[in-house]
A = this chain, B = another copy of it.
Amino acid sequence: MEFESSQSIFSQIAESLSEKILKQQYEVGEKIPSVRELAAEVGVNPVTIMRTFNELQSKGIIENKRGIGYFVTEKAIDLIRNEKKAVFFEKVLPDFIHQSELLGISKEELKSHLNL
């Protein structure tokens, strides 16, 4: 797995897992890969994965079953979708509008880029 330097590795992994859960590549109640597995798979230190899991757990997206592993919670999809929506409407969309106005991009140009 490749990482952007602008963001911490552990939160990029968290983002990646969140998207997979949202796309139901990991289903509700399903066990996600173990710390060591994921660490080996993406080529980072296990504690980096732990930080990822801690973050997701504190958000309520995954939960731990002692000695077994981490599982996708029932409310995971709602949580992820809600957070993403908030970010989208409060940050991504306004920023998009702001930038396109600042650059004077015409509505026709926007439409073509967005296939609208």
List residues of chain A with CB under 8 Å of any chain B CB: 3, 5, 8-9, 19, 22-23, 58, 63-64, 66-67, 81, 84-85, 87-88, 92-93, 95-97, 99-100, 102-103, 105, 107, 110-111, 113-116
Copies, count: 4
Contact of A88 among B63, B92, B99 (CB under 8 A): B99
Which of B19, B66, B111 contacts A102, CB < 8 Å? B19
B102 touching A84 by the CB < 8 A rule?
Answer: yes
B84:A99 contact, CB within 8 angstroms? yes
| 8 Å CB contact of A96 from B58, B67, B96, B102 | B96
A103 touches B81 (CB 8 A): yes
- A107 near B96 with CB under 8 A, answer no
Q: In the complex, are the beta carbons of A5 and B66 less than 8 A apart?
A: yes
Nearest opposing residue in chain B for A87, CB measure: B99
By the criterion CB–CB under 8 Å, are B8 and A102 in contact? no
